[in-house]
Amino acid sequence: MTPRRSIRTVAALALVAALAGPLASQAQTKPPTSAAQTAPAADPVGDLLRARGERYHRAPDSAQDPDELRRTQALNAEITAQNDLAENEDRANAAAFAKAQAQYQAELEQADASARAAQERHEADLRTAAEAQAAYDRQMADWRATVAACERGDRARCNAGRQTPN
């Protein structure tokens, strides 16, 4: 801190101390006021800042520079428009996401259904193949039994085996 700045700080503190004395005595002599008289108009920004422990005092619009007030209102309108645009974009993105999610879910269900159908076809093919293999094994066992009977000289069985049952 520079010496010039420290002198200003000391002078400011002295001024505050000098003003605090008369204000404190005035505060003691003032009659109490009702809560309705002391409650300021609704100021959400001020309430928020006070809740954070900050000091805030908003000057009434009539005490502000009209050009500055007009620029502030224009900036606020621009910010509100940008916020509205961003909110609309968020809504559109959420709708697009929901649509894509629904489409994905439908495709997933279709793929699951196709996979189940393919699995059922595969299992049916396996049953058909097992049945065909069992029939083949029975026919081969019968043929071997017939061959063995022919080799033993059992002509009845040997001749019966030549007939193909259908």
Question: According to the model, what pLDDT value does residue 91 have?
Answer: 96
pLDDT tens by residue, 53-98: 887 677 777 777 888 888 989 999 999 999 999 999 999 999 999 9
DSSP string, 11-77: HHHHHHHHHHHHHHHHHHHSPP--HHHHPPPP-HHHHHHHHTT----PPPGGGS-HHHHHHHHHHHH
pLDDT tens by residue, 125-160: 999 999 999 999 999 999 998 899 889 988 888 887
pTM confidence score: 0.41
Rg (CA), the chain: 49
Query: Residue 161 in contact with residue 142, Cβ under 8 Å?
Result: yes
pLDDT band at 1 (very low <50, low <70, confident <90, very high): very low
Q: In this structure, what token pair is assigned to residue 47? A: 């309430």
More confident call, 68 vs 38: 68
